[in-house]
Amino acid sequence: MLRYCIILALCALFVQGCVPHTIVYAPPVEIRHTPDLNGAIRLACSSGTATAAVVAYRKPYYYAVTARHVIRGVDWLMADGQVAKVEAMSVDSDVALIRFKSLKTYTVYPLRRPELGQACWLVGWPWPGRIVNRGWISRVRGPSIWHNAGGANGCSGGPVLSAKGELLGIVTSYLVERDIGWIIPSRNVYNSLGRAVSAQEVAHLMALVPK
**pLDDT value of residue 188:** 76
According to CATH, what is the number of the domain 119-187? 2.40.10.10
Cβ atoms < 10 Å from Cβ of 31: 14
Neighbouring CB atoms inside 10 A of 132's CB total 15
Nearest to 39 by CA among 105, 119, 122, 115: 105
Task: Locate the DSSP E strands across the chain.
Answer: 40-45, 48-58, 61-66, 77-79, 82-89, 96-100, 119-124, 131-141, 144-147, 159-161, 167-175, 180-185
CATH topology of domain 40-108+189-206: Thrombin, subunit H (2.40.10)
Q: Residues 6 or more apart from 208 whose CB is under 8 A from it?
A: 55, 56, 110, 111, 190
- pTM for this prediction: 0.76
Question: Where do you find CATH 2.40.10.10 in the chain?
Answer: 40-108+189-206, 119-187
Provide the residue type at 21 as one letter: H
pLDDT value of position 196: 52
Is the distance from CB of 63 to CB of 24 less than 8 angstroms? no
pLDDT in tens, the chain (211 residues): 545 444 444 454 343 433 333 333 344 445 556 899 999 999 999 989 999 999 888 888 898 999 999 898 899 999 999 999 998 888 778 888 899 999 999 998 888 889 999 999 999 998 888 999 999 999 888 777 889 988 888 999 999 999 999 999 899 887 655 567 777 877 777 776 655 555 444 444 544 444 4
